[in-house]
Structure 1
Amino acid sequence: MYAFIWRKLPFGLAGKLIGSVLLVAVTVALLWKVAFPWAEPLLPFDDVQVESGVPGESGDSGPATDDAPAGDEHDLPYDTDQNNPAPPSPSR
């Protein structure tokens, strides 16, 4: 297809380069002005729903936090002090 378009563009190499740039510009302009505005309402990018996370406020039960210790949001199930390598010695 691209070879067919390249063969059909007139005026030698310079005309083919200018013609191909114009074809790309017209295609981008048509997409930008016609196709993208038509498709925008069909896409879910603007459909953002933020829930409060408070149970009962928006009908959502919220995240289950009953089994988490009080006041400790980041309780890790492993020890972070083990398996840390010793700092390098100054002689290295």
Structure 2
Amino acid sequence: MYGWLWRHLPGGTAAKALQAVLLVALVVALLLFAVFPAIDPLLPFNEVTTR
């Protein structure tokens, strides 16, 4: 998959590296700000019970 992505990014090595870093940052931001908050209510981590 990484090879496929690297071959399909336009530009030289430096441009491809910058684009790859930006794509990783975009995926991380999407996960942190959209996906994880959306699924947080569905996770059982806040349901603490003690006996």
TM-score scaled by structure 2?
Answer: 0.89
C-alpha separation in 2, matches of 1:46 and 1:21: 34
Task: Give the number of the structure with larger relative contact order, counting CA–CA contacts within 8 Å between residues 6 or more apart.
Answer: 2
In structure 1, stretches of 5+ residues that fail to align are: 52-92
C-alpha separation in 2, matches of 1:2 and 1:39: 28
List aligned pairs for 1:7-18, cutoff 5 A: 7-18=7-18
Partner of 1:30: 30
List aligned pairs for 1:1-92, cutoff 5 A: 1-51=1-51
Spell out structure 1 runs of 4+ moving beyond 3 A: none
User: What SS is found at the alignment partner of 2:26?
Assistant: helix
C-alpha separation in 2, matches of 1:33 and 1:50: 31
C-alpha separation in 2, matches of 1:6 and 1:47: 43
**RMSD of Structure 2 on Structure 1 (CA):** 0.9
Max Rg structure? 1
In structure 2, stretches of 5+ residues that fail to align are: none
Q: Percent identity?
A: 51
TM-score scaled by structure 1?
Answer: 0.52
TM-superposed deviation, 1:50: 2.0
Between Structure 1 and Structure 2, how many residues are aligned? 51
C-alpha separation in 1, matches of 2:39 and 2:2: 27
